[in-house]
Amino acid sequence: MQIILMEKVTNVGQLGEVVKVKNGFARNFLIPQGKAKRATDANMAEFEVRRVEIEAAEKVKLADSQARGEKLSGLTLQIVQKAGVDGKLFGSVTNADIVNALGAQGFEVEKSQVRMPAGHIKQIGDHPLSIALHTDVVVGITVSVLGEQ
């Protein structure tokens, strides 16, 4: 399916590009989330009329994400979980736990923005992870998991 991208989408394309993607990806993800529109003549004409407005909005989003990223960069987040004697956690630290801990410190982050390369944290100690605030802004933080008996 031919679509017009309304914002930059990782591994797909840039704002305003007309790209061909699988039908299901367009119908179930890109179009409902407002990231793309079908590439019809009417939609292409509407996009060209609103191009400057959309690009300005994207620049504002990027600047906001960069400002938030500077505040978050290098942050060490401490989370206390119940753990056994050997340092294994009873349960795990998930994206939701990290979002809640960041929210308590005044940072607005969504679960989908938290990138945990090794999966959920199941050991006490320091664990690096990244937060993708924007497709161009990815910030690294450290989660320090402390065990409580």
The predicted pLDDT at position 39 comes to 93
- Domain spans of the chain? 2-70, 73-148
Name the CA dihedral angle for 8, 13, 16, 17, rounded to a multiple of 10 degrees.
Answer: 180
| Interval 32-47 mean pLDDT | 92
DSSP, collapsed to helix, strand or coil, labels residue 92 as strand
Q: Give kind and range of the element (H or E) at residue 49.
A: helix 41-72
In this predicted structure, the answer to whether residue 149 has a pLDDT above a threshold of 80 is no
Residue range 10-34: mean pLDDT, rounded: 93
pLDDT of residue 111: 92
What mean pLDDT do residues 111-140 have? 91
Question: Is 107 a residue whose pLDDT tops 80?
Answer: yes
d(CA 17, CA 5): 6
Instruction: Give the pLDDT band of residue 54 (cuts 50, 70, 90).
Output: confident
Pairing relationship of beta strands 76-82 and 137-148 according to DSSP bridges: parallel
Q: What is the mean pLDDT of the chain?
A: 91
Nearest CA among 27, 24, 21 for reference residue 1 = 21
Q: What strands lie across the sheet with 36-38, from one edge to the other?
A: 18-20, 2-5, 36-38
Q: Which of 144, 141, 143 is nearest to 69 (CA)?
A: 141
Q: Which of 117, 109, 116 is nearest to 65 (CA)?
A: 109
Question: From 3.10.430.100, 3.40.50.10800, 1.20.1560.10, 3.40.630.30, which CATH number describes the 73-148 domain?
Answer: 3.10.430.100
In whole angstroms, what is the distance from residue 43 CA to residue 24 CA? 20
Mean pLDDT, residues 123-135: 92
pLDDT band, very low/low/confident/very high, at 10 (cuts 50, 70, 90): confident
CATH class of 2-70: alpha beta
